[in-house]
Amino acid sequence: MLALAVDTATPAVTAGLVELEQAAAGANTSDAAAPRTLAARVLVDARAHAEALTPQILECLAEAGVSRADIGAVVTGIGPGPFTGLRVGMATAAAFGDALGIPVHGVCSLDAIAAGCAPELGPDDELLVVTDARRREVYAARYRDRGRTRVAGPEVCKPGELPVAGATKIAGSAAHTALFALPALTGQTPSPAALVQVAAGALWSGGIPEPLVPLYLRRPDAVERSYRTLDRMGA
């Protein structure tokens, strides 16, 4: 299956085309699925989400030598992230899905960062992932099982209020991982392959995706409404 992956939950504008192989019968999907990136674009610019994302997708299609009709599903990060940037990625994903008549799957962006850190994690590591929430706060979540299992979060809080006991490594925004006395891993933003990896089970299940609900984690933004509801209300 060819999946389009996008994420704008962080200052990075991310787009990519990822080939996902079918898991063998009876295998653990998260272990057996092997995402392969055909093309990817990442631009770190918190003010360029709206301008950059669609051109990046078109560049990926041209580089991979495929057409929009070849895409079987869309995967988008749903945050947590600031309202404006996060909305761009989710709206673009929804638009591509509607235009092509294909499913759109939302995944927690922090989950994708954790999944991308798997090669740097041992079986006993507990990973803390933090990203910039602005207002001198961070978005955070904790993971075990080499980044596959979220055990806490996502949440938003000040760095000094975030419990770190038990965490052995940290990943995410470099400016914020530096605030904690933990070994920092290389993963800073969700990669296209990691986004698809997190969604692998849902992609192959063939079921109807859950409605896209952005993770803002703050009031008044943190009202749990589907993305289509937001559009109807003109939010």
Digit-coded pLDDT (tens) for 36-65: 999 999 999 888 899 999 999 999 999 999
SS (H, E, C) 149-190: EEEEEEEEECHHHCCCCCCCEEEECHHHHCCCCCCECCCCCC
- 102 shares its domain with 202: yes
- pLDDT over 80 (residue 23): no
Over the stretch 92-103, which tens digit does the pLDDT of each residue have? Answer: 999 999 999 999
CA distance 15 to 43: 9
Percent of the chain at pLDDT > 70 equals 88
Is 182 within a domain?
A: no
Domain-ending residue, one of 130, 147, 177: 177
Average pLDDT over residues 122-128: 97
Tell me, yes or no, whether 54 and 148 share the same domain: no
> Are residue 208 and residue 104 in the same domain, yes or no?
yes
Confidence band for 228, pLDDT divided at 50, 70 and 90: very low
In-domain check, residue 184: no
Integer-rounded Cα radius of gyration of the chain: 17
In a domain, residue 183? The reply is no
Residue 19 lies in a domain: yes
- Number of independent structural domains in the chain: 2
Q: Domain range for residue 36?
A: 2-109+191-233
pLDDT of 84 reads 86
Nearest alpha-carbon partner for 75 in 141, 143, 15: 15
pLDDT tens, residue by residue, 146-161: 999 999 999 999 999 9
Both 121 and 99 in one domain: the answer is no
Asked if the model's pLDDT at residue 192 lies above 50, the reply is yes
Q: What is the pTM of this model?
A: 0.88
Distance in angstroms (rounded) separating the CA atoms of residues 165 and 152: 12
Residues 154 and 47 in one domain: no
Lowest-pLDDT choice from 92-106, 122-136, 196-210, 213-227: 213-227
Over residues 165-188, the pLDDT tens digits come to: 999 999 999 999 999 999 999 999
* Residues 21, 84 within the same domain: yes
- Domain assignment present for residue 8? The answer is yes
**97 and 149 both lie in a single domain:** no
Per-residue confidence (pLDDT) for residue 227, from 0 to 100: 44
Residues facing residue 219 across a β-bridge: none
Are 88 and 196 contained in the same domain?
yes
Residues 80 and 119 in one domain: no
Q: Please report the pLDDT score of residue 220 as a whole number.
A: 44
Q: What CATH number should be reported for the domain holding residue 201?
A: 3.30.420.40
Say what percent of the chain tops pLDDT 90.
Answer: 78
Domain presence at residue 22: yes
Residue 131 lies in a domain: yes
Residue 186 inside a domain? The answer is no
Which CATH number goes with the domain that contains 165?
3.30.420
Q: How confident is the model at residue 24 (pLDDT cuts 50, 70, 90)?
A: low
120 and 66, same structural domain?
A: no
- Where among 177, 208, 224 does a domain terminate? 177
Do residues 45 and 81 share a domain?
yes
6 and 96 belong to one structural domain? yes
